[in-house]
């Protein structure tokens, strides 16, 4: 059964550093991973899945039954990103959207966007346009939703900023 045990920052992002943090957390919570861990799934980062010094390798040295598989959510994200990058219309769409995001990030421009939202959507919560993350597809979804829901305010902001 899968459970979130801890969420802690690792000062050392190498495979060895992550392994030491993993051991510290499992020891603190009395988890016998050397006996009970049967699988591990990570993204493709070398620090996680590296054959010689990735976290999975350090774990498998102590528990050979802890098989490693790529995290399917990360694999799906890679497929979606590569698919979108191969379609020129989609690539252009996200490129233009990224340009709007970068333009609107300035404090004054953000303030104009917020004011336009207050004018056009007085009873609704203020939305902010956040940057895309290359590794999190959901960040693209959030940006698209804000642009879609607040399109009139965004357009009004751009018209005001043009003058």
3-state secondary structure of 41: strand
Q: Residue 3 domain-assigned? A: no
Alpha-carbon span 133 to 105, nearest angstrom: 15
Task: Give me the pLDDT at residue 136, please.
Answer: 66
127 is a domain residue:
yes
Q: Which residues pair with residue 67 across a beta bridge?
A: 39
Residues 62 and 81 in one domain: no
Chain Cα centroid distance, residue 133: 6
Q: Domain boundary residue among 31, 49, 70?
A: 70
Mean pLDDT by runs of 10 across the 163 residues of the chain is 86 96 96 95 88 95 94 82 88 92 94 98 94 72 92 97 93
Judgement on whether residues 80 and 109 belong to the same structural domain of the protein: yes
Identify the pLDDT of residue 137: 65
Q: What is the pLDDT of residue 134?
A: 65
One domain for residues 97 and 142: yes
Split into its structural domains, the chain has a count of: 2
**In the prediction, which pLDDT does 80 show?**
81
Question: Do 57 and 123 have their domain in common?
Answer: no
- 6 located within any domain: no
Q: Structural domain of residue 55, as residue ranges?
A: 15-70
Residues 80 and 158 placed together within one structural domain of the fold: yes
Residue 106 lies in a domain: yes
Residues 98 and 39 in one domain: no
Q: Are residues 31 and 57 in the same domain?
A: yes
Q: How far is CA 38 from CA 2, 35, 41, 91, 95, in A?
A: 11, 8, 11, 40, 42
Task: Provide the whole-model pTM.
Answer: 0.58
Which residues, in sequence order, are CB contacts of 141 under 8 Å at separation 6+? Answer: none
């Amino acid at each position: 059964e899968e459970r979130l045990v801890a969420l802690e920052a690792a000062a050392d992002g190498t495979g060895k550093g992550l392994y030491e943090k993993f051991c510290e957390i499992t020891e603190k919570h009395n988890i016998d991973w050397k006996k009970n861990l049967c699988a591990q799934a990570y993204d493709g980062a070398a620090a996680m899945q590296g054959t010689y010094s990735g976290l999975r390798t350090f774990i498998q040295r102590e528990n050979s039954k802890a098989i490693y598989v790529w995290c399917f959510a990360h694999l799906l994200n890679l497929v979606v990103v590569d698919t979108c990058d191969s379609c020129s219309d989609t690539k252009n769409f996200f490129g233009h959207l990224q340009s709007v995001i970068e333009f609107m990030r300035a404090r004054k421009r953000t303030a104009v966007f917020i004011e336009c939202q207050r004018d056009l959507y007085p009873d609704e919560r203020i939305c902010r346009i956040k940057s895309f993350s290359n590794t999190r597809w959901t960040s693209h979804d959030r940006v698209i939703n804000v642009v879609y829901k607040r399109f009139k305010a965004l357009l009004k902001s751009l018209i005001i900023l043009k003058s």
